[in-house]
Amino acid sequence: MGRELGVGVGTVLAYAPGSMYLGGPYEGAPFSIVSISAAKVGPFDLGTVVVHLPLNVDPTTARVSIPQGLPDQIPHIIDGIVVHVRDIQISIDREHFTINPTSCARKTISATVYGSGQNFTSPADDVPATTTTPFQGADCASLAFKPGFKVSTSGKTSRKNGASLSVKLTYPNTPQGTQANIHTVHVELPKALPARLSTLNHACIDAVFVQNPAKCPAQSRVGVARATTPILPVPLEGPAYFVSQGGQKFPELIVVLQGDGVTVDLAGETFISKNGITSSTFKQVPDVPVGTFELKLPTGEYSALAANTNLCEANLTMPTVFNAQNGAQIKQNTPIEVQNCPDTLKIVAKHIDKRTLTLTVAVPAAGRLTATGNGITSNVKSAKARQQLTLKLKARGTSPLHTKIQLRFTPNTGKQRKRLQASTQVAFH
C-alpha cells in the first residue's frame, strides 16, 4: 500500500513518498497499521518517520477502526522543525487485501482529525473535526445465496441432563465474492425440544458478561461454537452463554467466537411462545464471508434444552429463515436428524376407518418405506431423515378381509444399514 504526505505552508505542497503495511497485535488491538515515510523535502532530510497505529475490530459488526484521540499519531515536530502536514494520500493497491460488502445499503467511511493546540495559537486547533464520505456497493442482487444447513440431536435424553442440539451451516465452495453473506437468522425449535427454564434462571448478568465473559457462572455456559472464514488463517472458536439483558423477558444466547486476536459476539434473541415453542433470532450477523459455522448445545446438568417426548419416535423439524445481506431470503423446514437411536422399524399407530387403513411408522433414517398386503392397495413413502411416515392403504372390494401387512424399509445408505422389515395383522369388516 502506498502513502504520500503533502507538507508546506504555501499553495504548492511538497510530497514525501512512503509505504504502509499491515502489522500484528499492538496496544491491545489484534492488528495494526504501520506507515513508513521519508521525511525529506528539498534540501531537508529528517530521516524516516514511522507511524504505528492499532486496528480495532468491533465484536458486533466486525467494523475495523483506529481508536480516536491517540497521542502523536502524526508527528508535528521532527528534530525541532515544525512539520505542516496538510494533505495525506493513501492508495490501497495490494490484490485481495480488501473485500467488497455483499449489502448495497448506504454506508459511510468516517475520519476524525485532531489539530495540535500546543503548536498553534487558535483555540480551534484543539477541536477535533469529523468528516465522512458515502460508500455503497453495487450489483449485490446478482450474488447467489445458497448456504447449507443441517441440524441433529441425540435420542438419548433424560430429565437430569436434558437434550442436545447440533447445527452446522456451510457455504458452497465457490469463488469469493460470488455469494451473499448472511444478515439475519431466525429458527424455531420443535415443541419436543423446549428451552430448559432451570438453566435460563442461571443466565449470566449482562454487566458481568460485558466486563469479562469468563467471569460468568459455569451454569450459564451452554455450548461451544466454531466458525471458519477465508479472511482469517485460523478458525474462530468459543463458548455460548445465556445472558440476561435485564429488561428483556428471556435471556439471550450469545456465542463468543475468538481467533487470531479477533472477537466476534453473535447474539440471538430468545423467545418462548405461549405454546412452549422456543425461537432464536440473530438480528445482526457481520457482513463477512463464512466457510462453516457449527454450534453444539450438549446434554448436561445445565443443558440449554430439554425433551418432553421420545425423540426417536418423533418428527422433528426446525422452521428456519435466512436473510442475506443483499435481501435474498430462504425459508425452509429443516429436518432434525435424531442420532443414537435403535435402527428398527416400528409401527407407532394404526387405525381403520371404513375400508381405509392408516399406518404411522417410525423409520430410522433417510430411505424408502413400502407397504404391501393381499387384498389391499400398496403404498410407498420416502423419508428425508429419521422420522414418522403416514401411509394409507385401502381394502379392495367390499367383503370382510383379514390380511397381513408387510412393511419393508430400504435406507438410502444401504452399505451402512441393512434393510428392515415389520408386519401387522389387520381386519376389514
Judgement on whether residues 158 and 280 belong to the same structural domain of the protein: yes
The predicted pLDDT at position 119 comes to 46
Which of 85, 120, 141 terminates a domain? The answer is: 141
**CATH number reported for the structural domain that contains residue 210 in this entry:** 2.60.40.740
Same domain, 258 and 229: yes
Q: Taking a C-beta distance cutoff of 8 angstroms, is the pair 255, 240 a contact? A: yes
302/163 same-domain check: yes
- Report yes or no: 293 and 168 within 8 Å, Cβ to Cβ: yes
Domain boundary among 141, 158, 187: 141
Residues 214 and 317 in one domain: yes
What pLDDT was estimated at residue 71?
62
* 327 and 191 fall within a common domain: yes
User: Please, are residues 370 and 349 in contact by the beta-carbon 8 Å criterion?
Assistant: no
147 and 137, same domain (yes or no):
no
Q: Across the 429 residues of the chain, what is the mean pLDDT of every consecutive 10-residue run? A: 58 71 90 83 74 91 83 71 74 81 89 64 63 88 95 95 97 91 97 95 95 96 97 95 86 96 95 93 94 97 95 90 96 92 90 93 91 95 88 93 95 74 93
> Last residue of a domain, which of 323, 339, 355?
339
Domain range enclosing 263: 143-339
- What is the CATH classification number for the domain harbouring 350? 2.60.40.10
Residue 57: strand pairing partners:
64
Same domain, 393 and 328: no
Contact predicate 317/337, CB 8 Å: no
Give the model confidence (pLDDT) of 323-378 as tens digits: 999 999 999 999 998 999 888 899 999 999 989 999 999 988 889 999 999 999 99
116 and 164 housed in the same domain: no
Are both 202 and 255 inside the same structural domain? yes
Residues 68 and 122 in one domain: yes
Q: What per-residue confidence (pLDDT) applies to 121?
A: 47
C-beta separation of 204 from 241 below 8 A: yes
Instruction: Please tell me whether residues 326 and 374 are part of one structural domain.
Output: no
- Same-domain status, 149 and 132: no
The model's pLDDT over 61-108, given as tens digits with 9 standing for 90+, comes to: 998 988 876 765 777 777 777 777 777 778 788 887 888 899 989 988
Calculated CA dihedral for residues 67, 68, 73, 77, nearest 10 degrees: -170
> CB 415: neighbour CB atoms within 10 A?
6
Domains of the chain: total: 3
